[in-house]
Structure 1
């Protein structure tokens, strides 16, 4: 995995680069200290993923995320920040972030987050409460769709980034049973694909952190 890092502080960049080299198989191919430089690097290098702070000078990390998602949709963006309040989490996910990693997370979590991003799954640090990402006002019609307890359990595990095989093992059922639950959920909710289900789980605030 080829990564570009973005943070306004040189020592922070150096620290994260070292952690990535020590705890993952990824390679850091570029570093940016502001949002404008980040966009330029992404355009030049076309990395597999970006790890960016929200609080960047010139162009904020969130605005850079919007631009990257619009012009380079194949580049996954993982937000790496200490700003873990609900407003920032929701804004990042709405902008297309592939995940949200708390800067207070354990080093090994970097590897978990990058592997999830590589599989095109959304990653959220366990420290981020489901309450932080639930919508504050209003509900779409899909939110009122009644799911069975087993379907909700599958959805919660999808929200945690678990694969079909992993879900089957955790629930003690066959892979085919999990696939059946997932197909019926997609049909009931009008959603298609695992990523769509994952975003739905996050948006509706399902407590997947404690399954």
Structure 2
């Protein structure tokens, strides 16, 4: 398999490259340190697979996954990260990841993950609880029962993408006060308070990378 490695740490990439060369027959065709470079490399090299960290500069690993899955669906994307909480795992799988590996995993898991990718199967590290991947059952939470207006959805998506109030106002062509009003109404309607809570809601519901 022809693989591109994406991780901001040079030593991590070097270690991954050595492990892949020792334990698999994979060919490392490219290495990048940020999400923007990853998208460019994928467009240039058309690899079989990408092995990427979530926490990448410029464009996150999840956002890069979304773009790769949309424009190069034949390229398998494996996430390798220590961010193994349910939110990140669900977001990765929802957006088309071929697997999710814990950075604390046994090195041989790389071999198992690549074999699974070749078989068109999804691979999860055993350390990742399957319960974390599944949505919690039971009664609907308050925020799941709320119908948001198109403007509220747009504001929420931009908040989830890390945009400031000033940037959101410029992108939407409205005043800063209008954005603040939308934000306040969002928090009131969803029963969520604070930017982090809104971002978690956007990730859980798939709004974070939905089309604006």
TM-score by length of 1: 0.65
- Number of equivalences: 139
1:138 is displaced (CA, Å) by 6.7
1:31-46 correspondence to structure 2 within 5 Å: 31-46=31-46
Where does structure 2 lack aligned partners over 5 or more consecutive residues? Answer: 140-212
2:124 matches 1:124:
yes
Alpha-carbon distance in 1 for matches of 2:79, 2:61: 8
Q: CA RMSD in A?
A: 1.1
Alpha-carbon distance in 1 for matches of 2:60, 2:122: 21
1:38-187 correspondence to structure 2 within 5 Å: 38-136=38-136
1:137 is displaced (CA, Å) by 5.2
Kindly name which structure, 1 or 2, has the bigger radius of gyration based on alpha carbons.
2
1:118 is displaced (CA, Å) by 1.1
Alignment partner of 1:92: what SS? helix
Alignment partner of 1:42: what SS? helix
Partner deviation per Cα, 1:140-189 (whole Å, 9 max, x = no partner): xxxxxxxxxxxxxxxxxxxxxxxxxxxxxxxxxxxxxxxxxxxxxxxxxx
Alpha-carbon distance in 1 for matches of 2:90, 2:137: 13
Where does structure 1 lack aligned partners over 5 or more consecutive residues? Answer: 140-211
1:73 is displaced (CA, Å) by 0.1
Once superposed, which parts of structure 1, at least 4 consecutive aligned residues long, lie more than 3 Å away? none
1:17 paired residue number: 17
1:136 is displaced (CA, Å) by 2.5
